[in-house]
Amino acid sequence: MEITERIAQLLEEKYSTDEAFADCFNVEIELKPGQKLYVFADSDTGMTFEKCQKLSRFLESHLDTNGWLGDKYLLEVSSPGIGRPFKFLRQYHNNAGRAVEVTLTDKTRQKGILKEADESRVVLLQKMVVKEGNKKKEVEIETAIPFEQVEKTAVQLAF
């Protein structure tokens, strides 16, 4: 079993046995050259600094005890963060109401406010300018995008 699989399994056990982490889930675990382990976890109620810190200490104790990465390693535990693509439907649910950018399989991009998502589609609220007579008016429209057309979705910073 690879180290990333061991870490994933260890964290899943933590989430299922520790009530403080019951709504947490793994997004991605990466082991990079130089024994650099990056753990991206999320939570349905928000991934706080304190949760990340506790998970980091939990993992450090297991890494040190079992020697999985040797004596020298770098461990970073964080939430996926802005700009990192969603991997799970629950991330769409957790980010409803936020500005997102959806990259489609044809490489075009759609930006808007994430209204909702289900197993089949993503719905964005987008502002469009339409002409009514001699005046231009901004309207909000809903755009449904089938999931099979979605390559990736990520939260965007609003300026």
pLDDT digits (tens, 9 = 90+) for 81-95: 888 999 999 999 999
The answer to the question of residue 84 being in a domain is no
| 52 and 116 fall within a common domain | no
Which residue, among 117, 103, 85, has the nearest Cα to 150 in the 3D structure? Answer: 103
| 73 and 9 fall within a common domain | yes
| 57 and 107 fall within a common domain | no
Enter the tokens of residue 22. Answer: 């019951």
Per-residue model confidence as pLDDT tens for the chain (159 residues): 799 999 999 999 999 999 999 999 999 999 999 999 999 999 998 899 999 999 999 999 999 999 999 999 999 999 988 889 999 999 999 999 999 999 999 999 999 999 999 999 999 999 988 888 888 989 999 999 999 999 999 999 866
Q: Tell me, what's the pLDDT at 105? A: 97
| 118 and 72 fall within a common domain | no
Q: What is the DSSP letter of 147?
A: G
Specify the CATH number for the domain of residue 101.
Answer: 2.30.30.100
The answer to the question of residue 74 being in a domain is yes
The total of structural domains in the chain comes to 2
Q: Tell me, what's the pLDDT at 63? A: 95
Report the alpha-carbon distance of residue 64 to residue 57 in Å, rounded: 10
Q: What is the DSSP letter of 106?
A: T
The answer to the question of residue 62 being in a domain is yes
Which residue, among 4, 137, 19, has the nearest Cα to 59 in the 3D structure? Answer: 4
Bridge pairing between strands 150-155 and 121-132:
unpaired
| 21 and 70 fall within a common domain | yes
Report the alpha-carbon distance of residue 93 to residue 148 in Å, rounded: 18
Q: Which domain holds residue 100?
A: 89-155
